[in-house]
Amino acid sequence: MTWRRVGLYYLFAIVLGGYYLLFEWRPGGPDAPIFERRPGQESTFLALKRDTIHKLSIKRQQHTFVSQRREAQPGEEIAEWQVLEPTGAPVTSALVSSFIENLTPDRKIPIVHEAPEDLAAYGLAPPDSTVIIEGEGEPGTETIFIGGYNPTKTAVYARKDGSPEVVLLGYNVKYYEDLIFQAAQRGTEERS
């Protein structure tokens, strides 16, 4: 075999590989929806500011988690989150704060689809979980539906109640939500 033939084989492999990556490959498998992100298609998502939020409720299947912020007392630097439901669940204030920080990013987030006909493709019909946040100012209360992971499993689909837009939130939203429910479940099992 000559070096010229080896070079031709490599060139052939690069051309076929490039064609596959550009036209045939779909992350998430053949059933994953294809989404095109156009420049400028971004949203601020939530009107409530992080520091005005004083109550958080997360509903997932038959389980509910509710936490309320207690203002900082004299000598304390930051406000603490108290668990209201399930009573006595060992969910730390830092875990609730981390969830809220990831739910309310400071930057704009990408809009995946402006008004999809089939929300099931995003895990939003029905949603995996429903998050209700209450805060000061307008609008006062916002409801967010959290869906499934995107094909690359780096983010989750979400939709705000009253808005047809489906957006991408960071992977950590789902991660911290899972940690909250795991801690609440452990506390329930320990008390039983």
- All structural domains of the chain with their residue ranges: 1-32, 42-191
Structure letter (DSSP) for residue 97: H
Architecture of domain 42-191: Sandwich (2.60)
Place of tokens 């609440």: 184
pLDDT tens digits, one per residue of 84-105: 998 888 899 999 999 998 888 7
Q: pLDDT tens string for the chain (192 positions)?
A: 788 888 888 888 888 877 777 766 655 555 555 554 444 466 677 878 888 889 999 999 889 999 999 876 677 667 789 999 988 888 999 999 999 988 887 778 888 888 888 899 999 999 999 999 998 877 789 999 999 999 888 999 999 998 889 999 989 999 999 999 998 887 666 665
d(CA 67, CA 57): 7
Place of tokens 């949203």: 43
Instruction: Spell out the residues 6+ positions from residue 28 whose beta carbon is closer than 8 angstroms to its own.
Output: 150, 151, 152
pLDDT of residue 40: 47
d(CA 156, CA 120): 13
Angle at 43 between CA 143 and CA 157, to 5 degrees: 55
Provide the whole-model pTM: 0.72
